Structure 1
Amino acid sequence: MNRLALTLSRGIARVTESALAPYQTAVVRIGFAGTWLLFLLREFPHRQELYGPDGPWSRELAGQLTADNGAFTALLWFDGQVWFETLYALALVSSVLLLLGWRTRTSSVLFMIGVLSLQNRSVFMGDGGDNVLHLMCIYLVFTRCGQVWSLDARRAALAEAARARGVRVADRVGPVLWAVFGAALGAVTLMGRLGDGRLVPVLLWTVWAALGLWWVVGHRARSGEPRILLDVVANVVHNGALLVITAEACLIYATAGWYKIQGSRWQDGTAVYYPLHLDSFSPWPALADLLSSSGTLVMLMTYGTVMVQVAFPFTLFNRRVKNVLLAAMMTEHAVIAVVLGLPFFSLAMIAADAVFLPTSFLRRLGLWVARVRERLPVPGRRTLPQPRSPEDGERARVGFPA
């Protein structure tokens, strides 16, 4: 009984005292923000047909659908080309800001607004990866995804160093963003555009209130009980969202694998052959012919895909087996991106898979990227002092406090 109580207390302490998996959530943030940014840039010449006034899915049809299912899209708040271009630009800018990790609490909300607004405007545009992005953009709002590898982490490290020298650092950008965000929310709410009693409007107002409370407590009671309480709440919310992201990824693979098992083509080992010869998924016909020329290879790819997807959720308790299957799934998505011409679907799935990457691998990856960056000739850059340990070097390079 005492051992159970001790284990339970350790688990509660671990969940409340820190935000778990900071490197994994940073990679998920970078992965999904980069995927959405690349997609928007790739489809920029076709944006009018995809989500704008020239699309086959008209504004009237979109309005009827959102009225029935309660989906959120800011594109229907106002009509006209200017509003569409403004929201498309907002989606681009918020993706860049979230990718860089600048004010991640605010940029993650703007990123969610951009994703939901465009995707819910034209629900039939996408290749499957849009569904994953649709869910993950909401989950990212609840995470503390800017702890490492972000401009927020560098700013926090500089502020901490300044306070150690006795210099008071005032945050002027945060209150301005909070005021602008609140004014915009209040305006659209008073105009009746935001909706009533739906998830996203409630979430937006809750986040806005939480940001204001966080700033007030953080600057008035930095070391007191209110600050500790907010940290505990933020850690619990982050770890809960991280658990949901992990469960979502496992659910995707489990359902995909078990549904494949029920298909006759997957049972006889020929399912992979058919998409390789569809015109819509054959950007490299010669490569598709090469892969499908061997019946044995097709059978191995078909059965291997099913076995990896079904087995992966059960391997999370065995680190070595999990890492092997994780590498296999990421390789599979990379092959799908090239062979079937689905790069954004593959990038979205790889970003979701990144939540399972080992922390030691991500640390080494961060150090390697930092070394490469230091070797690049940048005018006016100061050379960092030699670190006493790899951890010290990583903190100095990625800019987060020890």
Structure 2
Amino acid sequence: MIRLRQGLGRGLRTGVQYVTSAALGPYQTAVVRIGFAATWLVFLLRELPHRHELYGPEGPWSWGMAEQIIADNKAFTALMWADSTLWFELVYLLAIVSSVLLLIGWRTRTTSVLFMIGVLSLLNRSVFMGDGGDNVIHLMAMYLVLTRCGQVWSLDARRVRAAGGAVAAVVRDRVGPALWTVLGVALAVATFMGVMSWGWVLIFWTLLLVHALWWAVCRYADGEPRLLMNVLTNLVHNAGLLVIMVEVCFVYATAGWYKVQGSRWQDGTAIYYPLHLDYFTPWPELSALLASSGTMVMVVTYGTVIVQVAFPFTLFNRRVKNVLLALMIVEHASIAVLLGLPFFSMAMIAADAVFLPTVFLVWLGGRAGRVRDRVLPPGKAVQQRREPVDGPVRSWGEQREHPSARTERDRSERVEPERVESERVESERVESE
């Protein structure tokens, strides 16, 4: 009994240290940030000519109808602050600009909040516009605020490396405090005008005060206060990452079990009928070719159900999880082509990316870096470290070194002694002569 208690105590201490010592999954959160920012940006640009009909004053979901549903569900949307075309254009522009800035990783702690405001403002204004992918973007925009999603593949990471560390970057920073000051004034004005519910007022003021406290501790405090703030931010980040992973599992589990209950999915014909609807057939010849094979339709139908139901259980086996993850990404890519739902597929692929292996993401980043170095003129390509700025490469349940880095290290360790020995022999020969 005593050994059991000691073992549980050691396990608990190890677990607490694991989730508080570092912000886990830096590459996973970065690819989720890039994926959802790119999906939302492409959607906004694609619907730019139709923005007034979708979310603006010319839409079928009128101002009065939006007021009634928001008064009932207390949802946040800045578009309801003023019934003005100019205000709508400003909010739409904010959504586009924040998506671009979040995509490139500029001031991610600020732009993630602005990104969330843009997403919620548009989607909550017209709740029946979308194809299912908007619900995923709606949720992930809120979860990204909790994560440190700019540790790698961002301008923030480059700025931290140039400054020599995260604390030094905060101390030298001048743009960040000025940006948060402007946002604080805007938040004070919105609070005074009473355009937001008290719940959202509390959320935004909490975010503002927490970031102000973080800046003050990094600039004026040292030792225990700074260590405590770092532990708390790591804990919040890891909790947000866990929520994203659980949310993806819930999406697939609920979708799979609801499909099991449907008669069309049970008899294997659920895929057949959408392939004959004009709305879901951007390529009629391709859809007709797939629908002409009853065996293929049945395999795709049952395969979809099996993969979605089984995926949450495969997280306990890394190899099986990676296989099913590849199948789901292929499935969503096929939905984008066959059914004409590109933004839904992009959103789901971005959500699936949270489960991609760290080794694969590091390899992908290295390939992208080499392509960038080839495209840019010589001398202008910036050499970047492949590690996250806040610690070593770590992911949920794994901490592995990239194969290329391990090979390069072994080669250098093998070559260096040989070089020293050859120089010693050469010097002895010269002395003897």
Q: Can you list the C-alpha shifts for 1:94-126, whole angstroms capped at 9, x where unaligned?
A: 001111111111100000000000000000100
Task: State the alpha-carbon separation in 1 of the partners of residues 85 and 252 from structure 2.
Answer: 40
Structure 1 residues 382 and 326 mapped into 2: Cα distance closer, same or farther (>3 Å)?
Answer: closer
Secondary structure of the residue that 2:82 maps to in structure 1? coil
1:104 aligns with 108
Residue of 81, 86, 93 corresponding to 1:89:
93
Mapped contact 1:156–1:400 kept (Cα < 8 A): no
1:300 aligns with 299
Q: Can you list the C-alpha shifts for 1:77-96, whole angstroms capped at 9, x where unaligned?
A: 01211100000000000001
1:153 aligns with 157
Task: State the alpha-carbon separation in 1 of the partners of residues 208 and 81 from structure 2.
Answer: 20
Mean alpha-carbon deviation: is it higher for 285-294 or for 201-210?
Answer: 201-210
Deviation at 1:201, TM superposition (A): 2.6
Within 5 A, what are the aligned runs for 1:242-391? 242-378=241-377, 381=380, 384=383
Task: State the alpha-carbon separation in 2 of the partners of residues 233 and 162 from structure 1.
Answer: 15
Within 5 A, what are the aligned runs for 1:55-70? 55-70=59-74
Q: Can you list the C-alpha shifts for 1:303-334, whole angstroms capped at 9, x where unaligned?
A: 00000000000000000000000000000000
Deviation at 1:383, TM superposition (A): 6.6
Deviation at 1:154, TM superposition (A): 0.6
User: What is the TM-score of this pair, normalised by structure 1?
Assistant: 0.93
2:204 aligns with 204
Mapped contact 1:154–1:400 kept (Cα < 8 A): no
Unaligned runs of 5+ in 2: 393-433
Q: Quote the RMSD (CA, aligned, Å).
A: 1.9
Mapped contact 1:160–1:401 kept (Cα < 8 A): no
1:179 aligns with 181
Mapped contact 1:149–1:399 kept (Cα < 8 A): no
Mapped contact 1:155–1:399 kept (Cα < 8 A): no
Mapped contact 1:159–1:169 kept (Cα < 8 A): no
One-letter amino acid of the counterpart of residue 314, structure 1: F
Structure 1 residues 314 and 401 mapped into 2: Cα distance closer, same or farther (>3 Å)?
Answer: closer
Residue of 74, 79, 82 corresponding to 1:78:
82
Task: State the alpha-carbon separation in 2 of the partners of residues 150 and 35 from structure 1.
Answer: 17
Mapped contact 1:195–1:201 kept (Cα < 8 A): yes
Residue of 31, 36, 41 corresponding to 1:37:
41
Unaligned runs of 5+ in 1: 385-391
1:394 aligns with 386
Mapped contact 1:109–1:141 kept (Cα < 8 A): yes
Secondary structure of the residue that 1:394 maps to in structure 2? coil
Task: State the alpha-carbon separation in 2 of the partners of residues 305 and 163 from structure 1.
Answer: 47
Structure 1 residues 41 and 6 mapped into 2: Cα distance closer, same or farther (>3 Å)?
Answer: same
Q: Can you list the C-alpha shifts for 1:263-297, whole angstroms capped at 9, x where unaligned?
A: 11111111110111111111000010011110000
Mapped contact 2:170–2:218 kept (Cα < 8 A): no
Within 5 A, what are the aligned runs for 1:101-140? 101-140=105-144
Deviation at 1:144, TM superposition (A): 0.6
1:142 aligns with 146
Mapped contact 1:153–1:401 kept (Cα < 8 A): no
One-letter amino acid of the counterpart of residue 320, structure 1: R
| Corresponding pairs, count | 388
1:387 aligns with none
User: What is the TM-score of this pair, normalised by structure 2?
Assistant: 0.87
1:388 aligns with none
Deviation at 1:3, TM superposition (A): 2.1
One-letter amino acid of the counterpart of residue 386, structure 2: E
Task: State the alpha-carbon separation in 2 of the partners of residues 207 and 344 from structure 1.
Answer: 30
Structure 1 residues 229 and 92 mapped into 2: Cα distance closer, same or farther (>3 Å)?
Answer: same
Task: State the alpha-carbon separation in 1 of the partners of residues 279 and 377 from structure 2.
Answer: 44
Q: Can you list the C-alpha shifts for 1:175-213, whole angstroms capped at 9, x where unaligned?
A: 1011001000000110111222x2x33221110001111
Task: State the alpha-carbon separation in 2 of the partners of residues 168 and 280 from structure 1.
Answer: 51
